[in-house]
């Protein structure tokens, strides 16, 4: 090849390369990024969750709902039925009772008041609830922070509540925050030299009442203003005695050998420790927004997460994140008919929310053993994607 022809050939090659590079930059292709997972890879990634769902349904669970968010990918799963009578299929977008996940929401509302300077976490509870000492007779000073971290020692009102009558009567009777604390007062408050972590829903009844007093609005309205409205969550709320929506999965218990529907009972209407209704998608949106500083300042979120040595912060549980050697944050929820586990990585980018309507069993004061299995499945799944 002559020098002139070689030069023209090189020019054509350079022009072709430039055109290809221009096309890559305009069209967004030609990168070294990993190819997206194919269907087989995706199926393998979520096999553990689908196997768990299948086992739950075989064991009598009416429905299983799941949403996972990982690396920009969203995977959702809905199986079973909304209602054992109608047999209408359950969808991943259906609503359910999130139980103690409500505590994370109440904690946000408390910490927003602290950011506004209207509340101090180290102030005694009696400064905001003057009747606290008269009704509950604590053995010593109790601070707002101790309520948030379950280190107050305040007895759990659920124990005397569940012994107060037939399950149907208990569930179908509204119980105000004041009444929840009055029930807690019927249980002796044991004095201790060093009060450690002792989980009690009464702590969040007291916090809900503080929020109501300082805001001058019901706890359902406050949670809507602090969380649901800013995040555009249309299906997350305290039900306030309203009828269950058609798109809600139903929970059941067994009473005297008969199946009883316990979907959205009147008890939830002012149940700050565990009355909220939501969806797996909206629970994930809530925790991602929280951990990414969209609801509270970064400093407040760090304080809410709590010390690394503690398994519970301020309205947040934590589990080991082996992918980062840090933690997942969230909460578990366990209430008659429903179990939920929600975990989110520290940066809010990896999430899993799993909800099950339990196989109908008689009510008990103990947590349903399935909740521990749900936690194990969730952590194993997230940690398996490092």
Residue 68 has pLDDT above 60, yes or no: yes
pLDDT digits (tens, 9 = 90+) for 184-242: 999 999 887 667 899 999 999 999 999 999 999 999 999 999 999 999 999 999 997 77
Which tokens in the block code for residue 197? Answer: 């972590």
DSSP character string of 23-76:
HHHHHT-S--SPPPP-HHHHHHHTHHHHHHHHHHHHTT-SEEEEEEEETTEEEE
pLDDT digits (tens, 9 = 90+) for 82-141: 999 999 999 999 999 999 999 999 999 999 999 999 999 999 999 999 999 999 999 999
- Residue range 349-376: mean pLDDT, rounded: 94
pLDDT tier at 41 (50, 70, 90 boundaries)? low
Q: Picking from 23-37, 51-65, 177-191, 350-364, which range would have the lowest pLDDT averaged per residue?
A: 23-37
Predicted local confidence at residue 45, as pLDDT: 78
Q: Greatest CA separation found in the chain?
A: 104
Which tokens in the block code for residue 284? Answer: 């994930």
Separation in Å, CA 49 to CA 34, 55, 354: 24, 10, 9
Predicted local confidence at residue 4, as pLDDT: 36
Instruction: Report angle CA 272, 274, 278 to the nearest 5 degrees.
Output: 105
Residue 318 belongs to what H/E stretch?
A: strand 317-321
Over the chain, what is the mean pLDDT? 89
| CATH 3.40.50.300 holds for 39-383 | no
- Residue range 300-317: mean pLDDT, rounded: 96
């Amino acid at each position: 090849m002559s020098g002139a022809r070689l030069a023209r050939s090189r020019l054509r090659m350079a022009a072709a390369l430039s055109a290809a590079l221009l096309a890559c930059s305009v069209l967004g292709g030609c990168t070294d990024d990993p190819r997206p997972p194919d269907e087989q890879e995706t199926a393998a990634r979520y096999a553990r969750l689908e196997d768990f769902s299948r086992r739950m349904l075989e064991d009598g669970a009416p429905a299983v709902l799941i949403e996972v968010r990982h690396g920009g990918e969203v995977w959702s799963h809905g199986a079973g039925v909304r209602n054992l009578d109608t047999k209408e299929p359950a969808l991943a977008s259906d609503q359910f009772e999130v139980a103690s996940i409500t505590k994370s929401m109440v904690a946000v509302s408390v910490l927003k008041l602290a950011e506004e300077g209207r509340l101090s976490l180290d102030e005694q509870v009696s400064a905001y609830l003057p009747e606290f000492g008269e009704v509950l007779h604590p053995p010593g000073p109790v601070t707002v922070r101790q309520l948030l971290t379950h280190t107050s020692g305040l007895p759990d009102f659920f124990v005397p509540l569940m012994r107060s009558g037939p399950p149907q009567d208990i569930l179908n009777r509204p119980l105000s925050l004041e009444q929840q604390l009055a029930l807690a007062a019927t249980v002796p408050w044991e004095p201790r030299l060093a009060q450690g972590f002792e989980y009690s829903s009464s702590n969040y009844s007291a916090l809900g009442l503080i929020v109501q007093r300082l805001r001058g609005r019901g706890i359902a309205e406050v949670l809507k203003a602090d969380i649901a409205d800013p995040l555009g969550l249309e299906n997350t709320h305290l039900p306030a005695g309203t009828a269950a929506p058609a798109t809600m999965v139903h929970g059941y218990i067994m009473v005297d050998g008969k199946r009883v529907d316990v979907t959205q009972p009147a008890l939830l209407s002012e149940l700050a420790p565990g009355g909220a209704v939501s969806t797996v998608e909206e629970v994930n949106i809530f925790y991602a927004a929280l951990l990414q500083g969209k609801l509270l300042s970064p400093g407040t979120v760090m304080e809410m997460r709590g010390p690394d040595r503690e398994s519970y912060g301020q309205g947040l549980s934590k589990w080991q994140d082996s992918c980062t050697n840090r933690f997942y944050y969230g909460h578990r929820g366990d209430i008659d008919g429903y179990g939920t586990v929600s975990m989110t990585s520290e940066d809010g980018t990896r999430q899993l929310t799993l909800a099950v309507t339990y196989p109908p069993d008689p009510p008990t004061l103990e947590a349903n053993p399935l909740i521990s299995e749900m936690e194990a499945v969730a952590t194993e799944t997230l940690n398996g994607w490092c």
